[in-house]
Amino acid sequence: FLYGNVGTGKTHLISAIGNAILGGDGDKKRVGYVSASHFARRVAEAMQDAALDVFRENYCHWDVLILDDIQFMGGRVEAQEEFFHIFNVLHQQGRQIIIASDKAPDRLGLLEQRLVSRFASGIVAELKAPEWDTRMQILRHQATQTKAAVPEEILSLIAMRVPNDIRKMTGSLKKIVAFAHLVGQDMSCEMADEILSHLSIGNAA
């Protein structure tokens, strides 16, 4: 069970875990990924079509089931009921279940306690905002993807101004690169600072 604030890379990490399992030498080759909101929609459709048995079979055959954004299942009683049964089947068969959320299990107030209890019984890990060096590595990698020569001081400025949200941080870099290309100017710290201010990104403390 992985949890952390918005933009800390939870979806990226669980996707990487799934890809690593598929690319490994083990026998766990059936890996399923689904968002909680999509799961809830599928439950509603299966109930409407009187096809819950087929729905359950579809989810119970995975070696590894990855469920993203479990918080969006809050208040959806039917979806929680179905996931409870699927969770039990997979767990009893020794399968792997990976869940991501924006909150720790005991803070998911709209989920049934029996689900929360099962989540808390496994490995629970908090994903925190990356350290400075990691932020810089992410930005350097992103800069190479844009195929633009981004000065190191601009990367440092972005890393300093956007310390807690990877998605917003990489998005800021893309906007700076795109603006420089649009106006036909070289990137500068002044330009980057102005764009970050327009994005309502204040100075880092």
Q: What is the pLDDT of residue 191?
A: 93
Question: What average pLDDT does this structure show over 37-63?
Answer: 94
How does pLDDT run across 51-103, given as a tens digit for each residue?
Answer: 999 999 999 999 999 999 999 998 899 999 999 999 999 999 999 999 999 99
Can you give the pTM of this predicted structure? 0.79
Q: How confident is the model at residue 29 (pLDDT cuts 50, 70, 90)?
A: confident
Tokens of 20: 């690593």
Residue 80 · residue 73 · CB < 8 Å: yes
Per the structure block, which two tokens stand in for 117?
């209890």
Cα separation of 45 and 50, whole Å? Answer: 8
Helices 152-161 and 132-146, axial angle in degrees (round to 10): 130
Residues sharing a CB contact under 8 Å with residue 32, sequence separation 6 or more, in sequence order: 59, 62, 64, 65, 66
CA angle 58, 120, 91 (to 5 degrees): 35
